[in-house]
């Protein structure tokens, strides 16, 4: 499954890079979500994948029974998901405010801080 995950991660990264390079800011956000998913899968797969054996110590025993799923990447990914959500919410708020003020979602037209020197928007 690690190999298939590697291919899926490649797919997600390619899609997210393509989306993040778009001029529409919503596409950028979609790319960010996909990238966050891809990163989580990379961490998860790098810790090796074991099917059907959650990282639990069975009742009555003091150590797990046999080979179980690797707990460390799971802990890392769990917090990464929540933090990724926080980041996404913040970016979404930023996007929305930018849209409300500038009435555009095109990042090329968001030139409030760095105005184009002597160029008009007609050339694009």
Partner 1 sequence: MAEDTDPNAPWITLAGMLPVAITAALFIFFAGYLPGIAAGDTVRWAWAWIPSLDIALSFWLDGLSLMFALLITGIGALVMLYAARYLAGHPQYPRFSLYLFLFMLSMLGLVLADNLIALFVFWELTTFTSYLLIGFSHADPKSRRNALQALLLTAAGGLALLAGFILIGITQGTFELSVLNAAGSLSGDAWYLPILILVLAGAFTKSAQVPFHFWLPNAMAAPTPVSAYLHSATMVKGGVYLLARMHPSLSGTEVWLWTLTLFGGVTTVFASVMALRQIDLKQTLAYTTLMALGTLVMLLGGASGYAITAAMAFLLVHSLYKAALFLMIGVVDHATGTRDADVLGRLAGKMPATAAAAGLAALSMAGIPPLLGFIAKEVAYAGAVQSPVWPLLILFGLTANALMVAVAAIVAWRPFFGPQGQLPRPPHEGPWAMLLGPMALALLGLALGLAPGYAALLVEPAVNAVLGAPDSGGRLKLWAGFNLPLLLSGVTLALGLVLYLRHQSLRDRLIWLEARVPDLDAGWDRLLEHFMAAAKGQTRLIQTGRLRHYLFATFTVIVATVAVTMLARGPAAPAPSMGGLSVREWGIAGLILAGTLAVVLTRAVMTAIIALGVVGIGVALIFIVYSAPDVAITQLLVELLVVVLFAVAALKMPPALDPEGRQRHRPADAVLALLAGSVTTLVLLMVTSLPFDRRLSDFFEASSYAEAYGRNIVNVILVDFRALDTFGEIAVVVTAALGAFALLKSVSKARTRSGGAEGDREDRA
Partner 2 sequence: MNSIIFSAGARILVALLLVFSVFMLLRGHNLPGGGFIGGLIGAVGFIVYALACGTAEAKAALRVSPEAIAMVGLGIALSAGLAAAPFGEALFTGIWIWVGGDSYATAALKPNTVLVFDVGVYLVVLGSIVSLACAFEEEV
- 61-70 in b/e form (b: 16+ CB < 10 A) is eeeeeeeebe
Task: Tell me if 79 contacts partner 1 by CB under 8 A.
Answer: yes
Phi, psi of 56 (to 5 degrees): -125, 145
- For 50, which DSSP code? -
Nearer to partner 1, 82 or 122 (CB): 82
Nearer to partner 2, 59 or 114 (CB): 59
Task: Tell me if 54 contacts partner 1 by CB under 8 A.
Answer: yes
Q: Which window, 15-23, 29-37, 77-85, 105-113, contacts partner 2 (CB under 8 A)?
A: 77-85
Q: What is the 3-state secondary structure (H, E, C) of 91-117?
A: HHHHHHHHHHHHCCCEHHHCCCCCCCC
Binding residue (CB under 8 A) for partner 2 from 4, 11, 78, 94: 78
Nearer to partner 2, 18 or 96 (CB): 96
Dihedral sign of CA atoms 61, 66, 68, 71 in order: positive
Joined tokens for residue 34: 């996909």
Nearer to partner 1, 62 or 120 (CB): 62
Task: Tell me if 96 contacts partner 1 by CB under 8 A.
Answer: yes
Q: Which residues bind partner 2 (CB under 8 A)?
A: 54, 56, 78-79, 82, 85-86, 89, 92-93, 96
């Amino acid at each position: 499954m690690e190999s298939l995950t590697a291919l899926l991660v490649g797919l997600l990264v390619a899609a997210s890079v393509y989306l993040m390079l778009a001029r529409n800011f919503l596409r950028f956000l979609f790319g960010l979500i996909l990238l966050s998913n891809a990163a989580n899968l990379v961490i998860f797969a790098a810790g090796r994948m074991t099917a059907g054996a959650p990282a639990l110590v069975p009742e009555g025993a003091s150590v797990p029974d046999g080979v179980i799923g690797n707990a460390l990447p799971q802990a890392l990914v769990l917090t990464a998901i929540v933090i990724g959500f926080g980041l996404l919410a913040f970016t979404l708020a930023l996007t929305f405010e930018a849209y409300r003020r500038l009435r555009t979602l095109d990042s090329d037209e968001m030139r409030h801080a760095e105005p184009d020197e002597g160029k008009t928007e007609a050339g694009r």
